[in-house]
Structure 1
């Protein structure tokens, strides 16, 4: 006992102890900021779809098949298909009763366009939440999951909000040119849009990027991560992920809390440095560039999906029942955030 007390009489030993305590405290705070999420991920048997969800599933499948089978690869190498995809989305939105904004811009001597529709808020119209997905594809991929699934979900969410009266304004956006060669450049469609919002000084209180959300597996070791996340999260790819940068962590926590309250579906979330691979790999990144909070909702894409950016990314690879449960949960989460409960 006497020797132990003498150890702490050493200034060096005492400083080392303080340093160790400080590092432990920093690690705990970092965990709270990045990893800890409110609520509990659902772990039970997945529910059977109710009649409304079955109708939603049919709509999701129909949209994916239109984009990936009828239209096919759509990007700067396939300009005619980009036009067909834009025309399909425009007509769908117009048929719902929306007035569709077309934001056209030029890149590589071609004209591209973002499509945006809005449901105005009643009591807080200047508070705006954007839900968006990119409709272009990578290379020769038909892009059923990346990102036909996200586009299909955004279309059906827009359909569900037609005629509703939220407190905040909600916008549904369909972006061009998220994929190469435009990713993380000034010609990325979502960055063109985000910059226009910033120039108008709009109050975007949150942006949700629906990115590759249709593939799930109950098999062990089907989920990968960039290090060091591989030590912290499940190795079975049966969940949907909510991902943000550190600055967007409050939006992330609020959204996953709501999703977990409403949805009977496994979910994981993290607010992470943008330097980690995958964290900024979609349209939410564009909103971060101009200071808006943004969250990506995803099945984690290349960290799970074996057909990522390939010609095998076809509609038959998607799990439409699980995609439906995710979209249904996002609809209710969005209702909480904009003040239009489902």
Structure 2
């Protein structure tokens, strides 16, 4: 059947949209990765270094399926060696974007939302980024030692990484932290805030993902937030406030702020919504994997557009 010239042009116009749809995050892959990372003999906390190393080895094996540029950044704390795992894409570019998430947990728990969702997000982004033409170098970085007792210390994996970028004068466009991206609720009053009046503006249902920025966050944070929202993948709200507001700097992006980089956090708002936070009940079964996949679709499309 012959197609009219106008109809053919219309199909060509739609083709890029179809290509994006074909590259959506895969909930089966996500579930498999989450199962491997959370259902382990021991919790992946700072005291179980062998378990942390097993997790790091798993990350290395998965990343290596999608890029030959996988490296390990080792550092020593109290006589123990800990590891950041880095997968790089678009190595032909100088200016880079960091997408980071921590793989350790607080205490004796699976840490499914906090923060297996973030690090599995890195694994799925690696699959989506494989072979793509990019405008920047993208480093996917899985950190260790984000949780207490090392939070807000120079032993955090993200501090070690951010410091290394500053010391080598790397050309960094900015950083986004994936911190708890898998817990969603439609029920009323399922969402709380550090200041009660915020519910008037943001609602009391925990059914959205949040772009958390500080005042004066910089060009990258603004650009990423704009492109993520423009992807229109999932209900999204942007929150901008002072760093002193409780929760706004509760993840790895805080260390990039310390070194002057533009950075933000993508989150389901952590303990303001998920009452399983730092509890044994933070399990895979509590997560909304389809919505988590939509979050990752948004991240992927934003990275492609920047």
Tell me how far 1:265 sits from its aligned partner: 1.3
Aligned to 2:70: 100
Q: Select 2:225's aligned residue among 251, 256, 259.
A: 256
Aligned to 2:130: 162
Tell me how far 1:71 sits from its aligned partner: 5.5
Tell me how far 1:190 sits from its aligned partner: 0.3
Tell me how far 1:300 sits from its aligned partner: 0.4
Q: SS state of the match for residue 239, structure 2?
A: strand
1:243 and 2:187 are equivalent in the alignment: no
Tell me how far 1:72 sits from its aligned partner: 5.0
1:225 and 2:181 are equivalent in the alignment: no
Segments of 5+ residues of structure 2 without an aligned counterpart are 1-20
Tell me how far 1:159 sits from its aligned partner: 1.6
Map 1:194-213; keep pairs closer than 5 Å. Answer: 194-213=162-181
Aligned to 2:269: 300
Is contact 2:84-2:142 (8 Å) kept?
yes
Residues 268/293 of structure 1: CA separation in 2 closer, same or farther (3 Å cut): same
Is contact 1:121-1:165 (8 Å) kept?
no
Aligned to 2:102: 134
Aligned to 1:174: 142
Q: SS state of the match for residue 56, structure 2?
A: helix
The 1-side partners of 2:110 and 2:68 are apart by 27
Residues 204/241 of structure 1: CA separation in 2 closer, same or farther (3 Å cut): same
Tell me how far 1:114 sits from its aligned partner: 0.5
Is contact 2:67-2:87 (8 Å) kept?
no
Aligned to 1:29: none
Tell me how far 1:215 sits from its aligned partner: 0.4
What is the RMSD of the two structures over their aligned residues, measured on CA atoms?
1.6
- With normalisation by structure 2, the TM-score equals 0.89
1:315 and 2:280 are equivalent in the alignment: no
The 1-side partners of 2:73 and 2:220 are apart by 27
Deviations 1:174-220 (A, max 9, x none): 10110001111000000000000000111211101000000001101
Tell me how far 1:51 sits from its aligned partner: 6.9
Aligned to 2:17: none
Q: SS state of the match for residue 232, structure 1?
A: helix
Map 1:1-342; keep pairs closer than 5 Å. Answer: 53=24, 56-70=26-40, 72-120=42-90, 122=92, 125-227=93-195, 229-337=198-306
Tell me how far 1:121 sits from its aligned partner: 5.2
Tell me how far 1:233 sits from its aligned partner: 1.8
**Greater share of residues in helix:** 1
Tell me how far 1:231 sits from its aligned partner: 4.0
Deviations 1:149-178 (A, max 9, x none): 000111110121122221211111010110
Deviations 1:44-82 (A, max 9, x none): xxxxxx7754x6111111111111113551121222211
Residues 72/230 of structure 1: CA separation in 2 closer, same or farther (3 Å cut): farther
Is contact 1:121-1:167 (8 Å) kept?
no
- Pair member with larger Rg: 1
- With normalisation by structure 1, the TM-score equals 0.80
Residues 90/216 of structure 1: CA separation in 2 closer, same or farther (3 Å cut): same
The 1-side partners of 2:193 and 2:171 are apart by 34
Q: How many residues of Structure 1 are paired with residues of Structure 2 in the alignment?
A: 285
Is contact 1:214-1:319 (8 Å) kept?
yes
The 2-side partners of 1:126 and 1:71 are apart by 41
Segments of 5+ residues of structure 1 without an aligned counterpart are 1-49, 338-342
